[in-house]
Amino acid sequence: MIGILRLRVARAAMLSGAVLLAAPLGAQGAAGDPAPRVVTLDEAIALALRNTPAAVQAIGLERNANAARRQALGAYVPSVNLSITSGHTQGTTINSFTGQLTSLSGNPWSYGNGLNLSVDLFDGGRRISEVNRIRATADVADVSAVSARFDATLQVKQQYYAALAARESAAAAKAQLEQAEQQLKASSARVTAGVVTRSDSLRSVIQVGNAQLAVLTAENDLRVANAALTRVAGSTTPLAAAASDTVESPLAMPTEVELLALLPDGPAVKLAEANLAVARAAKRTQRSTYLPTLSMTYSYALSNNSNGFNGRNLVLVNGDNASRNTFNFSIAYALFNGFTREANTVALDVTLTNAEASLRDARLAARANLTTLLRTLQNAQARVSVQMAAIAAAEEDLRVQTQRYNLGASTLLDLLTSQTTLNQARQSLIQARFDGRVARAQLASLIGRPL
């Protein structure tokens, strides 16, 4: 019987050795991948703000906003058109008296220059309203660019914290493996001594195998998290989160009252306010269509002709030119245009009402999100404190159960229960830290400033 028991223990040890070899093979596969570049959170955010599509779109929005502001200023400047013409006419015509074909007389080459300026002297305030609408639209682009930057920053933070959580999970899995290996050695020795049954060694082998699988899973999760971090940062080389950023943010957390005061500066609320400003400006522009428009046009034209082509005549510098100065004033008013103005008025009224409702909802949503995220952060911080105490208690319980098992005062089941409790407490702590970090990042994106 003792010989059979030793044979089974040896088989269990061989199985354990086979499982232990799985990790080095997996590590070799991971080692074949290019080594990621370790970056801090600030470095990852800086990369994202330069390279990601959202950041590039934000730059484009700012360029459009600047161009729109220049366009708004140009509304006060008269439109100017300059023309330079040259033509050649040669052929025959029919003499109306004799009916014979005769050659055209005069110089065949003709030249002309023209300058035209036009400006609206009065448009019922439409120009001012349109300028305000363009500027408000540019403000929307600015706010959208800021919002896009905060969105890109939030995505980087979330993925960066996921990479940190994966790193912590890998460390916890390796600690679990070390415990399982030590417990396997202890149980194998006790089986050899005949103190316990062979089921203890078999259970220990299974624990080692589960720990090995946990290590492989954690390492794969870490590689996936690093790959996702590389993408959201817009990097062409693999990135990894720095272990130093595991430390919590040194910035003091504002109170709930202070956060409520910061909500109006949040990107979502600012964007809704900018859209409302655009709707109001468009409404004022539409009102001006019920007023007449007084316009002035000034034209200056010169003309000349010659026998041959002459480059100087293109600019008409000689004194034999025919010239004409013209001033025109006009008043235009649409008496009836098929109810188009009325339909546009109704459409702009609807747009304005929708913008007001959107702003009201954005403010309410910001308050609701602040309450939710702040409670999530506080809950996560409380869970971190509880789980740290739980880990300390679980480590002490595992130490006691290990000693009791070595002395034969407890069973392997009690020891495995303590190990499972410790592993669960470690994972709960990692999840609580991740939830707290993400909630803090979402709060920063909500109020539009770092926390």
> Which CATH number covers residue 222?
1.20.1600.10
Write down the pLDDT at residue 59.
Answer: 82
| 90/232 same-domain check | no
pLDDT in tens, the chain (451 residues): 334 333 333 433 333 333 333 333 333 334 456 788 899 888 899 888 888 887 788 788 788 888 887 887 787 788 888 888 888 777 666 666 666 666 666 677 888 888 888 888 777 777 777 788 888 888 888 888 888 888 889 999 999 999 999 999 998 999 889 888 888 888 887 777 777 677 777 888 888 888 899 899 999 999 999 999 999 988 888 999 887 776 666 667 888 888 999 999 898 999 999 899 989 888 888 888 888 888 889 898 888 877 776 666 666 655 567 778 888 888 888 888 888 888 988 999 999 999 999 999 999 999 999 999 999 999 999 999 999 999 999 999 888 888 888 877 778 888 888 888 999 999 999 999 999 999 999 999 999 888 7
| 181/278 same-domain check | yes
Range of the structural domain that residue 64 is part of: 2-77+125-292+338-447
| 306/415 same-domain check | no
Torsion of CA 333, 336, 340, 341, to 10 degrees: 50
Q: How far apart are CA 317 and CA 443, in angstroms?
A: 70
| 117/172 same-domain check | no
Q: What separation in angstroms does the CA of 6 have from each of 3, 408, 411?
A: 5, 20, 21
Please identify, among 311, 332, 353, the residue that sits at the C-terminal boundary of a domain. 332
| 180/327 same-domain check | no
The reported pTM is 0.72
Spatial contact of 191 and 198, defined as CB atoms under 8 Å apart: yes
Residues facing 101 on adjacent strands: 94
Write down the pLDDT at residue 198.
Answer: 78
| 112/168 same-domain check | no
Q: What is the Rg, in whole angstroms, of the alpha carbon atoms belonging to the chain? A: 40
| 261/225 same-domain check | yes
| 11/152 same-domain check | yes
Write down the pLDDT at residue 249.
Answer: 62
Cβ neighbours around 327 below 10 Å, total: 8
Indicate the pairing of strand 37-39 with strand 239-241: parallel
At residue 261, what is the residue type?
A
Q: pLDDT by residue (tens digit) across 321-341? A: 777 888 888 888 888 888 888
Burial of 267 from C-beta contacts in 10 A (0-12 / 13-18 / 19+): buried
Distance, C-alpha 247 to centroid of its chain: 25
Mark residue 331 as left, alpha or beta (left: phi above 0; alpha: psi -120 to 50; beta: remaining). beta
Spatial contact of 405 and 417, defined as CB atoms under 8 Å apart: no
| 196/214 same-domain check | yes
| 172/214 same-domain check | yes
Spatial contact of 437 and 161, defined as CB atoms under 8 Å apart: yes
Q: What separation in angstroms does the CA of 446 have from each of 224, 263, 264, 269, 371?
A: 28, 7, 10, 9, 11
| 192/70 same-domain check | yes
Write down the pLDDT at residue 32.
Answer: 53
| 249/369 same-domain check | yes
Number of compact structural domains in the chain: 2
Supply φ then ψ for residue 325, to 5 degrees.
-110, 135
Question: Closest by alpha carbon to 166, among 212, 244, 218?
Answer: 218
Spatial contact of 315 and 111, defined as CB atoms under 8 Å apart: no
Q: How far apart are CA 51 and CA 138, in angstroms?
A: 23
Q: How far apart are CA 131 and CA 137, in angstroms?
A: 10
**Contacting residues for 281 by C-beta, under 8 A, at least 6 apart:** 129, 130, 132, 133, 135, 136
Write down the pLDDT at residue 103.
Answer: 66
Write down the pLDDT at residue 213.
Answer: 92
